[in-house]
Amino acid sequence: MVGVMGHIDHGKTALVRALTGTDTDRLPEEKARGISIALGFARLAVPGGAIDLVDMPGHERFVRTMVSGATGLEAALLVVDAGEGVRPQTVEHLAIAALIGVRRAVVAVARCDLVPAERAAQTAAEAQDLCARLGCAAAPAVAVSARTGQGLAALTAHLAALARDPAERPDHGFAWLPVDRVFAVAGFGTVVTGTLRRGRLAVGDPVELLPGGRPARVRSLQIHGAAVDAATPGRRTAVALRGVERAHAAPGMALATPGLLHPAHWLDVVLSVPPVAAAPLDTGRPVRLLFGTTEAEARVRLLDGDRLEPGAEGVAQLRCPDGVTVPAGEPFILRAGSPPATLAGGRILAPAPARRRRGDPATLGLLGALAATADPADAAALHLRAAGTAGLDLPALARAVGRAPAAVAPPAGAVTLPGALLLDAAAARQAEERVLALVTDHQRRTPTAPGLPREHLRSLPGLPAAVAEAVAERLTAAGRLLRDGAALRLPGADADRLLSDTDRALLAALEEAFRRAGLTPPDAAAVAAGSRRRVQALGYLLRRGTLVRTVDRVHRREILFHRDALARARRILSRHLADRRTGFPVGEAGRLLGISRKFCVPLLEHLDATGFTRRDGDHRVLAEPGTPNEPARGDGRVW
């Protein structure tokens, strides 16, 4: 798309009409006053294709309208009256184009039939010099006359060269169309128009209106009055919407793929003050932020110094009190409210999570690197590195680089944690080391505990709980940690060697108490006596297999048997009941073992679960008659 720009009454609209046959002044007020007020659009057929021309108002009162068209441009057609030469709006229009990244231009020296050739050549030189100063070097100049047709063929040829050498359009993976007009059409409903800045729109696509996120669906599409099934970036597009009332849409809003863009109150930006600016830009300056078709209140916060001189570039933040919804990478313009003037412009590096520290080397390094790259993969790596051990999920990373999640590949070396959380490789190693150190320290301090309680992962400063838990899951999956219920411990760690003399004495006393009690063990809760150390010691003996947990379902309590007592019970039952084909009741087993039903039922249920006995109605039979293998005898030590 090529913007036709220049000072008021320099013949832009007449030139577009002469080139295309389209009169872009469509409003009655434009006809009456003889000036352009709104953006005008025309299609120029050239060999091998066509070019969309955007006729921009030249009056200083309509610079906002001009900017709304300029942010989607790929090149500029600068129109300069041969007799008047370069004027203030010539300079401001081209400065705005340069600030938003336009680097290709063609100069049309208009009304050349009304001045001597020498004067037209002088005007051409002035305009070309201005283009060079503002970054549009090697701009060809053509003397033209809309009245006589002079130079139109040559100008068309230069514009055709722009069409043959189009700017490469990246695949952002989502649609974004700033809305400049809204109206209703009978039979079609609400229609919005604008330049499709990003992505592809097709009939039937779900979309949302931003800000606000009102859902809709594409009913139909038109480009230059012709119905199409799909629209591609850079095309002037009319979109008929299903599900949206006319009152719910307005110029300044945007149409986008649902769910990808969120409002932001802080924007990280790189900005430039044009070399033709009358004054530097000071930090803290209130400004009008213009991007797409949106105008919003903002305040400049320079991050490296207190002011930016004309011709200088720097990184900054924009504070937007009302919040704005804009994708990363989008160009913008900053203007003063009164008196109106263009102050600066640049590119949005990313919606920022918060206010950044001024002068911070890490911040300046990150934003400087983001400003220097146009590669989304490099930008993603920078953002992920800056996130550190906090990490980013894929949707947040995608928003930071201005892409849809499906269009963002995790940076090389990035680690994907459970829950789709991404960490830079160095940050992932650091997080793993901290989790392992926490587990190791806990295991060293409390060797009788089953491991580090999972909730303790939240105690790591600077490591969000979600990241710590995801890292623990990754370490568990890799076998570097073991999960015991809700606890984490190191595999292969010999907890016995970590026991203190106090721990050993307590374990020996508890084991001996249960061994002496045999098949009528003491109450576990009474043994624990509310002591955390005793509870951990009992758990340790259970994990080692020294004690075995059974359940008294009648009284809803645990009964812990020593393993030697269970081995004795198996020997007695095997000796006396091996040949009992009809099975035996609980009472008979209790008499043989010398225990009450309180202990006998939980014991038999444990023997059922381990396959030693099998229940048959109210009786049990030995599943494998004969004397089972006994565990090897030792000195009873559990360490």
Predicted confidence at residue 68, as pLDDT, reads 61
Torsion of CA 17, 23, 29, 30, to 10 degrees: -20
Q: Over the stretch 93-141, which tens digit does the pLDDT of each residue have?
A: 888 888 888 888 999 999 999 999 999 999 999 999 988 888 887 889 9
Predicted confidence at residue 71, as pLDDT, reads 60
Q: Please answer whether residues 388 and 427 qualify as being in contact, where contact means their C-beta atoms are separated by less than 8 angstroms.
A: yes
Residue type, 425: A
317-321, 325-329, 575-579: range with lowest mean pLDDT: 575-579
Strand 452-453 and strand 236-242: the pairing is: unpaired
Q: Is the pLDDT of residue 633 over 70?
A: no
Q: Is the pLDDT of residue 627 over 80?
A: no
Predicted confidence at residue 39, as pLDDT, reads 67
Predicted confidence at residue 630, as pLDDT, reads 41
Predicted confidence at residue 24, as pLDDT, reads 63
For the chain, give the percent of residues with pLDDT over 90.
49
The pTM of this model reads 0.74
**Residue-wise burial string across 318-338, b where 16 or more C-beta atoms lie within 10 A, e elsewhere:** bbbeeebbbbbbbbbbbbeee
Overall average pLDDT of the 277-292 stretch: 93
Pick the CATH number of 2-164 from 3.90.180.10, 3.30.70.2190, 3.40.50.1820, 3.40.50.300: 3.40.50.300
Q: Among 222, 183, 224, 220, which Cα is nearest to 203's?
A: 220
Overall average pLDDT of the 227-247 stretch: 91
| pLDDT confidence bin for 72, thresholds 50/70/90 | low
Q: Is the pLDDT of residue 634 over 50?
A: no
- 77 by DSSP, 3-state: which? strand
**DSSP assignments along 598-611, one per residue:** HHHHHHHHHHHHTT
Predicted confidence at residue 462, as pLDDT, reads 81
SS3 assignment for 147-214: CCCCCHHHHHHHHHHHHHCCCCCCCCCCCEEECCEEEEECCCEEEEEEECCECCEECCCEEEEECCCE
* pLDDT top residue among 65 and 604: 604
Q: Is the pLDDT of residue 324 over 90?
A: yes
How much is the mean pLDDT over the chain? 86
| pLDDT confidence bin for 270, thresholds 50/70/90 | very high
Predicted confidence at residue 636, as pLDDT, reads 31
- 55 by DSSP, 3-state: which? strand
CATH code for the structural domain at 510-622:
1.10.10.10
* CA angle 371–374–376, rounded 5-degree value: 110
SS3 assignment for 340-400: CEEEEEEEEEEECCCCCCCCCHHHHHHHHHHHHCCCHHHHHHHHHHHHHHHCEEHHHHHHH
**Bridge partners (DSSP) listed for residue 42:** 53
Task: Give the separation between CA 280 and CA 260, rounded to whole angstroms.
Answer: 36
Q: Which two tokens stand for residue 573?
A: 């039952």
Overall average pLDDT of the 528-552 stretch: 87
18-22, 352-356, 470-474: range with lowest mean pLDDT: 18-22
**Bridge partners (DSSP) listed for residue 423:** 415
Predicted confidence at residue 628, as pLDDT, reads 44
* pLDDT top residue among 265 and 530: 265
Is 182 exposed, middle or buried (CB count within 10 Å of its CB: 0-12, 13-18, 19+)? buried
18-22, 278-282, 313-317: range with lowest mean pLDDT: 18-22
Q: Do domains 372-498 and 510-622 have the same CATH topology?
A: yes
| pLDDT confidence bin for 69, thresholds 50/70/90 | low
Q: Is the pLDDT of residue 631 over 60?
A: no
* pLDDT top residue among 204 and 579: 204
CATH code for the structural domain at 176-256:
2.40.30.10
**Highest-scoring range by mean pLDDT, 183-192, 296-305, 555-564:** 296-305
Q: Is the pLDDT of residue 217 over 80?
A: yes
Task: Give the separation between CA 512 and CA 515, rounded to whole angstroms.
Answer: 5
Task: Give the separation between CA 64 and CA 295, rounded to whole angstroms.
Answer: 8
Q: Over the stretch 507-523, which tens digit does the pLDDT of each residue have?
A: 888 989 999 999 999 98
Q: Which two tokens stand for residue 176?
A: 């974004």
Overall average pLDDT of the 450-474 stretch: 87
| pLDDT confidence bin for 67, thresholds 50/70/90 | low
Q: Is the pLDDT of residue 308 over 90?
A: yes
| pLDDT confidence bin for 164, thresholds 50/70/90 | low
HSE-up (13 A, CA, CB side) for residue 437: 8
Pick the CATH number of 372-498 from 3.10.180.10, 1.10.10.10, 1.20.1060.10, 1.10.3720.10: 1.10.10.10
30-34, 273-277, 288-292: range with lowest mean pLDDT: 30-34
Q: Which two tokens stand for residue 132?
A: 């060079």
Alpha-carbon dihedral sign for residues 340, 344, 350, 354: negative
* CA angle 45–51–54, rounded 5-degree value: 120
HSE-up (13 A, CA, CB side) for residue 473: 12
226-235, 270-279, 532-541: range with lowest mean pLDDT: 532-541
Q: Is the pLDDT of residue 263 over 90?
A: yes
Q: Please answer whether residues 476 and 452 qualify as being in contact, where contact means their C-beta atoms are separated by less than 8 angstroms.
A: no
- 141 by DSSP, 3-state: which? strand
Give residue limits of the domains in the chain: 2-164, 176-256, 372-498, 510-622
* pLDDT top residue among 419 and 381: 381
Residue with tokens 């007449």: 14
